Amino acid sequence: MMTDRQARTILLGVWPGRSLAEYQIVQAIGRFEGNYGAAFDGANNWGASALSTAPTPAECPIGTTGTLDHRADGSPYWACITRFSTPDAGARSLVRALTAPRRPTVAAALRTGNAAQVARAMSRTGYMAQTPDKYAIAIQRNAATIARALGEPLRVTSSASSSRSSSIPLFVFVAAALEVLFFALVSRGRS
């Protein structure tokens, strides 16, 4: 399996000159969508890019791998996931899918460093079927894991009102609030 550091090296090579927040978000998507290309029988597909759908996986075209996926309504279907020759080609395809001319709002959202804005833009352009809120959480969690692994500050924010310079993830605030609530309840029970 590819490490986060190896994936960053590839991403820097196929998409040079971006901000740390942009790299963290795109890398987070590549990490959870396609496990940096290791998912889908090693298809080198970072973004779960599907060429088509088919009634069964055996009916997927040559150069694809059939995998079970789900529509926005939850109904299952067989996606014919594109196989790429190298991890670099898979990473390049993910970058194109997020920044292609038909997705200028995703490209703009990437520049904000805000996971929620990126997820909403991706949903509006039909990139994914998952709800934007859940997708933003996945971006945020994976970006935090990547930042820790690479020893870099987290530049991805998670709420619409977050400033780009904030590096404290939302779940840290939620955990702190739950801890305060827990201790308040425990203290109340002792008195």
Domain count, the chain: 1
- Which of 59-63, 76-80, 125-129, 180-184 comes out lowest in average pLDDT? 180-184
Q: Calculate ∠ Cα 105-110-113, nearest 5°.
A: 135
pTM of the model: 0.81
CA 162 to chain centre: 19
- Which of 21-30, 120-129, 158-167 comes out lowest in average pLDDT? 158-167
Condensed to tens digits (0 to 9), the pLDDT of residues 160-173 reads: 544 343 333 444 44
By residue range, what is the domain housing residue 175?
A: 4-190
Phi, psi torsion values for 52, nearest 5 degrees = -165, -170
Condensed to tens digits (0 to 9), the pLDDT of residues 85-107 reads: 999 999 999 999 999 788 999 99
Amino acid, res. 33: E
